[in-house]
Structure 1
Amino acid sequence: MRLVFAGTPEPALPSLKALLESRHEVVAVVTRPDAPAGRGRRVERSPVAALAEEHGIEVLTPAKASDPDFQARLRALEPDLCPVVAYGALLPESALAIPVHGWVNLHFSVLPAWRGAAPVQAAVRHGDDITGATTFRIVKALDAGPVYGVVTERVRERDTAGDLLARLAESGARLLVSTVDGIEDGTLRPVEQSEEGVSYAPKVTVDDGRLDFAAPAAALDRVARAVTPDPGAWAEFRGERLKLGPVVPVEEDGLAPGELKVERKRVLVGTGTTPVELTEVQAQGKKRMPATDWARGVRIEAGERIS
């Protein structure tokens, strides 16, 4: 089939690569416009755009998918199907109607659970044991279209959102190719989603990464892993923001919420239950470093707290 692939960040790359290696023809990609990235805020192409250009594939970067010029070009390309992975923009019905077989999205949850922008982060934050990826036909309602296929993935004890997403991007890519194959062969028919078990995963903000050390250790552990690597966990120390890596619950008593305890090989923080161990720390204007190195450098005094 003739495909126009829509996607933007790195998690979309395994799917684009798999489709490029499949029996189908990727005639163009649709991706978000160039945007500032990194510390220097230099304007960069999206990862999907960069990969497409390496393969000599046309790149479309509409500010909005409702743009008439974009839709005219999409019609001219005559796609049979538009696979979508983390495109990052709404698709109006006028665009959805262009491909013969519509737009098929690879979503990183087992729908109808965790519809929305941040399903992997939600699965980690809420302590899900199992998650996965789903292919479905895009309709007007958010992530509510009929389902073509599902793969499942166990959430490991120390998974960050980044770890889990990397695995789902790979298994999801295989699912997407098999879905496109099945649509072309006529062997795959979508099934409407259940009305039960619907949950939503809104976009994660910087504020979602703030750790409240009055919470239980297990909850802090899940929150920190859910926002790693982006936007990252953080707290305040001596009036300044301190970025934190994942934290690890430990079986030890005697620390008040937020109270710091520095040992030779670890740094502990009190919580609403048992303490957690800090792993990596990044102070403002500094590089990320092991928590023990940070603690030696700032010379934490007895009774000091992080909040």
Structure 2
Amino acid sequence: MRIVYAGTPEFAVPALQALLASAHEVVAVYCQPDRPAGRGRKLTFGAVKQVAVEAGIPVEQPLSLKAVEEQDKLRAYAPDVLIVAAYGLILPQVVLDIPRYGCLNIHGSLLPRWRGAAPIHRAIQTGDTETGVTIMQMAAGLDTGDMLYKVVCPITATDGGQSIHDKLAALGASALLHTLDVLEAGKLQPEVQDDTLANYAHKLTKAEAQIDWTQSAAVIDRTIRAFDAYPVAFTLYEGQPLRLFASSLPSPLAGEGLGMGGNSSPPGTVIAESKSGIDIATGDGVVRILSLQLPGGKRLTAEQFLNGRSLLGVQL
């Protein structure tokens, strides 16, 4: 089939690479406009654009697809399908109607559980034990279209936003190829979403990344892991942000992770430190910090961080 692919960041790369290696023909790639990046604020190619340029595929980067001339340009590519993965622009109904088979979206959750901007992070933060990828027929609403194919991915106690992102990006590529095969064979069986089961995954903000130590250890642990790539959880230490990248819950079997009844230290107090991590009292239980970073410094393991310094007794 003739395919136009629309995506911008790393999440959308594996699926594009899979399409380029398949029997399908990618006739154009749509990305958001180049953005300034780095300390020099130079205009930088997004991850998807880089792959497309290297493959010699035409790249389109409109500011919007609402203009008639942009819609005509897309129509001229005569796509059988428009594949969308973390593209970042709203597609008007007229655009959804252009491809022969409409537009398919690679969505990073098991719909209808999480719709919206940050489904991976909200699934971890909320304590879901599984997530996955849904290939969806795009409709005018926000992630409301019919579901075409799902793949499940467990969320373990060691998973963070980055690890689940990478797993779902790979699963999305294989799920997409499977869906296209079934589409070509005329055997798709769309499933309507149950709107009563839907939750909105709000866009991430840096403000919500500040840890509230009066929350439970379980909530804090999930927040740190969910935000490990962006916006990165932090707490204040000597008036400066101390970034927290990885955490765990100490084992109750070892006499750790007790509720406040078993630990009288105020929330935010560092109550123990070792090569295994830095243990901090919370509103309910103890959370262990495994990786962290001081302002202007490098990301360090707890063992590296404690080499030559101590936080014992400090209240964050």
| TM-score, scaled relative to structure 2 | 0.91
Which residue does the alignment assign to 1:143? Answer: 143
Contact 1:60 1:70 in 2 (8 A): no
Tell me the CA shift for residue 292 of structure 1. 4.1
4+ residue runs over 6 A deviation: none
Give a deviation string over 1:263-307, Cα, whole Å, max 9, x none: 34232211112222221221112221223443455554x64211x
1:87-106 to structure 2, matched below 5 A, reads 87-106=87-106
SS of alignment partner, residue 115 of structure 1 = strand
Q: Counterpart in 2 of 1:281?
A: 292
1:214 aligned partner: 214
| AA in 2 matched with 1:104 | L
Deviation at 1:98, TM superposition (A): 1.3
d(CA) in 2 for partners of 1:248, 1:189 = 41
Separation of aligned partners in 1, 2:41 and 2:207: 21
The alpha-carbon deviation at position 10 of structure 1 amounts to 0.7
Query: What CA distance in whole angstroms lies between the structure 2 residues aligned with 1:242 and 1:282?
Result: 6
Query: 2:139 & 2:309 partners in 1: Cα distance?
Result: 54
The one-letter code matched in structure 1 to 2:88 is G
Identify the residue that residue 129 of structure 2 maps to in structure 1: 129
Which amino acid in the other structure matches residue 135 of structure 1?
A: I
- Output the CA distance in 2 between the equivalents of 1:249 and 1:268: 9
Q: Which moved more, 1:33-42 or 1:73-82?
A: 33-42
1:291 match: 302
Deviating more after overlay: 185-194 vs 141-150: 185-194
Partner-residue secondary structure (3-state), 1:204:
coil
Cα displacement (A) at 1:68: 3.1
Q: Give the one of 248, 270, 291 matched to 1:260.
A: 270
Change (3 A) 1:157 1:262: closer
Mapped contact 2:157–2:248 kept (Cα < 8 A): no
Show CA shifts across 1:1-58 (max 9, x none).
1000000111111100111122211000001110123454332111100000111000
Secondary structure of 1:231's counterpart equals coil
- The one-letter code of the counterpart of 1:117 is A
RMSD of equivalent CA atoms: 1.7
Counterparts of 2:148 and 2:38, CA distance in 1: 36
CA 1:131/1:264 → structure 2, altered by over 3 Å: closer, same or farther?
Answer: closer
Q: Which amino acid aligns with 1:126?
A: T
1:86-109 CA distance string (max 9 Å, x none): 111111112112111111001011
Q: Larger deviation: 290-299 or 270-279?
A: 290-299
Match for residue 72 of structure 1? Answer: 72
- Which residue is 1:162 aligned to? 162
Q: How far is the alpha carbon of 1:135 from its aligned partner?
A: 0.8
What TM-score do the two structures reach when normalised by structure 1?
0.94
Percent of matched pairs sharing the same residue: 38
Distance 1:224 1:39, change over 3 A: farther
Structure 1, unpaired ranges of 5+: none
2:86 matched residue in structure 1: 86
- The residue that corresponds to 2:238 in the other structure is 238
